[in-house]
């Protein structure tokens, strides 16, 4: 069963002559365990499409299904619960809460999703991503790579069906980026967690098992399997 289905999704901004189709009639099926990258030039609609899939935004037309559940008619509370339970996010700027420690940031995801495990589970996840002993550090006491690892642990701790990573390596140096990507790939292969990326990073494209190329809000190419990155934008 696919984790996510995108059916003829359109996202339009503005009206009349100023109208822009950020996503234009896109249909996709994302299966469990995929490690998929959305690529394309700036303005191609990668982030907008991820917003629709991540239920951060509502499409103007079409339908998004998460785990077989249509998100069309869900209210704010139901969408919030869906995000809390099934979707983890990793952002380009890490988006950690600055007043919370690394451990508290990870624990926060558990609190919001109502998942059990608490502090011990959060600490174990931090250890899994190589941050044992850094639990009590605030984000400003961590390097960019370490912050992104906390963000990965935070996204993963509630055991979501889908993790959406928006340009996760863009703010990291090449070594940290490589490490973070390796970590995510390892989690994908070991735990079967589904990852969806938007990226310009060739490194991410090299590791992706599937690449969806977007241009002007439309899918222009959808390549699956080894060597998917060949010819990607």
Partner 1 sequence: MFLFRLALKNLLRSKRRTLLASAAVVVGIFYLVVGQAFIGGFEESIIRGATDATLGHVALQPKDYPDEPLTFPLDELLAPDEATLSWLNEQKAWTSRLNFQVTLVHEGESLRAQGIAFDPATDSKVFSRATWTSDGEEPKTAADGIFVGHMLAKNLELEKGQSVVLQVRTEAGAINAMPVPVAGILSSGNPMLDAMAIFLTKDLAKELVRTEGVNAINVLLSDRDDVDEAVAELAPIAETAGMDIITWVEETAELLALQQLRRTMLNVLVGMLLLMSSMAIANTILMAAHERVREIGTLRAMGLSRRGVLGLFLAEGSLMGAVAGLAGAAPGAFIAWKYSIEPIDFGKLMEDQAQAGAAISFSSFVYTEFSVPIVVVPLVISFFVALVASIYPAITASAMEPADAVRAE
Q: Which of 113, 146, 148, 176: binder of partner 1 (CB under 8 A)?
A: 113
Minimum gap (Å) between residue 223 Cβ and partner 1:
27
Q: Which of 2, 7, 43, 57: binder of partner 1 (CB under 8 A)?
A: 57
Residues 164-183 as x/- pattern, contact with partner 1 by CB under 8 A: --x-----------------
Instruction: Select 107 or 128, whichever has its Cβ closest to partner 1.
Output: 107
Strands lying side by side in the sheet with 210-215: 87-90, 162-166, 194-199, 35-39, 210-215, 218-224
Write the CA distances from 117 to 52, 157, 158, 159, integer angstroms.
30, 9, 9, 11
Minimum gap (Å) between residue 80 Cβ and partner 1:
4
Q: Is 202 in the site for partner 1 (CB under 8 A)?
A: no
Token representation of residue 173: 């140096």
- Residue 30 is classified by DSSP as E
In angstroms, rounded to a whole number, what is the distance separating the alpha carbons of residues 114 and 159?
12
Minimum gap (Å) between residue 226 Cβ and partner 1:
32
In angstroms, rounded to a whole number, what is the distance separating the alpha carbons of residues 89 and 230?
27
In angstroms, rounded to a whole number, what is the distance separating the alpha carbons of residues 99 and 80?
23
Residues that bind partner 1 (CB under 8 A): 47, 51, 54, 56-57, 76-77, 80-81, 83-85, 89, 91-93, 95, 97-100, 107-109, 111-113, 154, 166
């Amino acid at each position: 069963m696919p984790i996510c289905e995108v059916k003829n999704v359109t996202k339009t901004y503005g009206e009349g002559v100023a109208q822009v189709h950020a996503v234009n009639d896109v249909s996709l099926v994302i299966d469990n365990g995929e490690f998929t990258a959305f690529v394309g030039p700036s303005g191609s609609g990668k982030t907008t499409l991820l917003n629709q899939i991540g239920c951060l935004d509502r499409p103007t037309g079409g339908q998004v299904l998460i785990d077989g559940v249509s998100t069309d008619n869900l209210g704010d509370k139901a969408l919030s619960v869906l995000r809390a339970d099934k979707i983890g996010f990793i952002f380009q700027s890490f988006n950690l809460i600055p007043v919370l420690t690394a451990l508290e940031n990870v624990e926060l995801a558990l609190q919001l999703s109502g998942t059990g495990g608490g502090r011990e589970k959060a600490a174990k996840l931090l250890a899994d991503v190589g941050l044992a002993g850094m639990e009590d550090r605030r984000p400003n006491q961590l390097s960019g790579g370490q912050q992104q690892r906390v963000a990965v642990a935070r996204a993963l701790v509630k055991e979501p069906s889908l993790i959406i990573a928006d340009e996760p390596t863009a703010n990291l140096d090449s070594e940290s980026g490589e490490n973070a990507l390796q970590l995510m790939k390892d989690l994908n292969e070991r735990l079967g967690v589904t990852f969806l990326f938007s990226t310009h990073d060739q490194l991410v494209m090299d590791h992706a098992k599937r690449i969806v190329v977007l241009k002007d809000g439309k899918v222009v190419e959808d390549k699956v399997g080894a060597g998917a990155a060949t010819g990607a934008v």
